[in-house]
Structure 1
């Protein structure tokens, strides 16, 4: 297992008592479509961890692979001007979450930034999220997601 994916599994165990069964795909799971094809699931079952900046705040938005973040709705969720909403850059993602773009899991972040979740996940028994690298994912349930990430479930999607 890649050392970063191993680090993720150890953090999950230590922080949450959760045994993440990580699967690695050498061909990569960089996009939701790539991940769904590798796993053999619907693209909507893929948890994309989209790291955004809303004003001076970093926010992790857990988006179904079939959805996109609506920046105006996200701004409204934080009573912010839509012009202050943007994608976090690579260094901001790493600083806030401790993980690199493409491998950000829904939990075990370096800071206590707010986490929002897509209500679409509730329609599935199993969902899949990044496990520290662009090639590693783990399976969890919507209930696991709530327990592990404690997200605010909101509709901030197009």
Structure 2
């Protein structure tokens, strides 16, 4: 069995998206949960800010995936201005699963049943390597900021002032 075949199904889908995009990055399965940015940073031995947390919001009712640095919380008023929305609300766990096909704590930037509008926190540009979830709370993938933008087609935005 190859390394990819040993990955959970959701992570194999993410890995295939990486391959299809021409990226050499490989999904890694970790023994401990990486459900939170702090857990992921501890498991990977990196700064919490290098963790690209995937948060699903509803912008005027439409799904919006926000890839944000783990070093801060999203300011929804600022995010609304950045994306031109009147309202921004956090999606429920049920909505996250329905839109992404993945569970909270494991939402990857790709591998969803249908494309999801994505924005990327400018603060992630401060890191040579950013770590994203890869379809489960136990899988991650290292990407550069530029690779994350190219992979998702996401616009860069400011999501917090601190």
Give the alignment's TM-score, normalised by structure 1.
0.89
User: Which consecutive unaligned segments of at least 5 residues does structure 2 have?
Assistant: 1-6
CA offsets per residue over residues 53-95 of structure 1, 9 Å max, x none? 12211100110010111111122234333xx321111221122
Partner of 1:40: 45
Whether 1:6 aligns to 2:9 is: no
In 1, the alpha carbon distance for the partners of 2:49 and 2:129 equals 11
Report the Cα offset of residue 135 of structure 1.
0.5
- How far did 1:100 drift? 1.7
Task: Summarize deviations over 1:22-47 as a string: whole Å, max 9, x none.
Answer: 22122210110100000011100000
SS of the aligned residue for 1:47 comes to strand
CA RMSD of aligned residues (A): 1.6
Quick check: 96-105 or 108-117, which moved more?
A: 108-117
Between Structure 1 and Structure 2, how many residues are aligned? 155
For 2:149, what is the secondary structure of its paired residue? Answer: helix
Q: Which consecutive residues of structure 1, in runs of 5 or more, have no partner in the other structure?
A: none
Q: Do the aligned partners of residues 5 and 108 (structure 1) sit closer, same or farther apart at CA in structure 2, a change above 3 Å counting?
A: closer
Structure 1 runs of 4+ aligned residues shifted over 4 Å read none
Shift of 1:97: 1.9
Equivalent residues in 2 for 1:110-149 (5 A)?
110-149=113-152
Instruction: Give the alignment of 1:37-76 within 5 angstroms.
Output: 37-76=42-81
